[in-house]
Structure 1
């Protein structure tokens, strides 16, 4: 078995958008542990968990900067990679707002949630898809709260709407594209994150293990699917 760290041509390469902490960092950690070469993005100059992971990775993990809400950042990021050089692009972004009826949410908060959770991710997919091999995979972190048919309790209305918008935008993107890349909208489960809270049943490690297993199972499928970390289909 080859172990030379400077010979990575035979290894799988992933770019994770939003990997400084929580689920994004967990994905970077899990992929690196499975032998992937991983590049993760952060937004600012502060040292993050991704920087620490990269420092201990013997060159297998690297860090670059990009703000998913800034189209110029996405264009610059695209120039850092050769077309078709990635096996996986994973777009991870998500913020929430106070649990209020949509009519009570300030306009600027509504806009920020929608741009970060829906518009930014689809812009990232559009800009960076050419970096992915034709038989590669694009993953996008969404939520079952974006499922219209599963919304029987309400709550977190703007967050739900942003994830429903994301799902619709990705579905529209899929309808007009002509390539064969596999496209997965993935729900991570209810996870112990800032969004999920300490009482959530899943740890980050448990969630990302399932997410990466699901990504692996669908390599080469083509088309669009909406699934969770257990590889179960989520209804639209």
Structure 2
């Protein structure tokens, strides 16, 4: 039975024209094309140390042909604020607290929301595996690794490469002195400019003409297929902390993927990929019911570099709220799709 807090809803408000940024992790360039994705990598059960040879400052990338944008680089319409009485975050019980007994894989971790997940999980005492694209060299992760000796490990993974994902899991399985994996937080995702979403009330017929097969396929590859492949490779590494403290898989989705909430159209590739991700997560929650709990998260409209400072909240507020939702997920909790304020998102 779903906890009462899980049934809290912001449905009384009109979200029809609300589109909020999701998964603003690291924007990454694929080696095979002018393609970007937000964050990447994986983690395994026994890990001791990860190489920091690749850490450094990342060169700014130029995208040719079709420019690829991370979610938030487009002009999304400003979201409707949640009424004070409909913000149940503080009410969420910490049934499954994140502490020094946790080992957490954060996929899409080099900046923005993903980096904030890394910081806050470390501050809670957890061991963190920060997964990012092989060519990313985030200075901030290097600094955090020095500050949190033995608690932060970095790993490379290309979300567009199935072998890269499985190899990362195998690599981590062979590492020593790392506590068992207890959480997977999948934050990575992309929004391609060719997907066409201009932030107006209705995208109009012109939006349909801008959709291409390439944009659709690449968006689904990263936003929908990769999360499932990561689940296939890393779920076997998840371990219960106790009979009631189940491992948690948290997927950063988006209200944009809500069918019921779509009142503005457009964003065909991104909307569809997030809607499909929601179904993937739902199926995982059923098929892995004896092994883990699954929660879908909507981060809100967040001020990051990729939103050019636009938004209603900062990354710390967004991630703090989402982690409360993760900590409110235990053996008795049902599958949920909630935002950072714990408001239930309509399907």
- Residue 326 of structure 2 corresponds to residue 215 of structure 1: yes
The alpha carbon displacement at 1:207 in A equals 0.7
1:155 alignment partner, one of 260, 266, 271: 266
Name the structure with the higher helix share. 1
- Residue 166 of structure 2 corresponds to residue 75 of structure 1: yes
Name 2:215's counterpart in structure 1: 109
2:224 alignment partner, one of 110, 115, 118: 118
SS of the residue corresponding to residue 139 of structure 1 reads: strand
Name 2:112's counterpart in structure 1: 22
Distance change >3 Å, CA 217–CA 28, structure 1 → 2: same
The alpha carbon displacement at 1:170 in A equals 1.9
Distance change >3 Å, CA 102–CA 55, structure 1 → 2: farther
Name 1:200's counterpart in structure 2: 311
TM-score by length of 1: 0.88
Distance change >3 Å, CA 69–CA 102, structure 1 → 2: farther
Kept in 2, the 8 Å contact 1:17–1:68? The answer is no
Alpha carbon RMSD of aligned pairs, Å?
Answer: 2.3
The alpha carbon displacement at 1:219 in A equals 3.1
- Residue 131 of structure 2 corresponds to residue 41 of structure 1: yes
- Residue 161 of structure 2 corresponds to residue 50 of structure 1: no
Kept in 2, the 8 Å contact 1:91–1:125? The answer is no
Structure 2, unaligned runs of 5 or more? 1-47, 49-98, 198-206, 241-245
Query: 1:87-106 CA deviation, whole Å, 9 max, x = no partner?
Result: 11111111112225244123
In the TM superposition, structure 1's runs of 4+ consecutive aligned residues that sit over 6 Å from their partners are none
SS of the residue corresponding to residue 125 of structure 2 reads: coil
Structure 1, unaligned runs of 5 or more? 1-5
* CA–CA separation in structure 1 for the residues paired with 2:346 and 2:220: 21
Name the structure with the higher strand share. 1
* CA–CA separation in structure 2 for the residues paired with 1:102 and 1:127: 36
Name 1:166's counterpart in structure 2: 277
The total of aligned residue pairs comes to 229
TM-score by length of 2: 0.61
* CA–CA separation in structure 2 for the residues paired with 1:193 and 1:103: 30
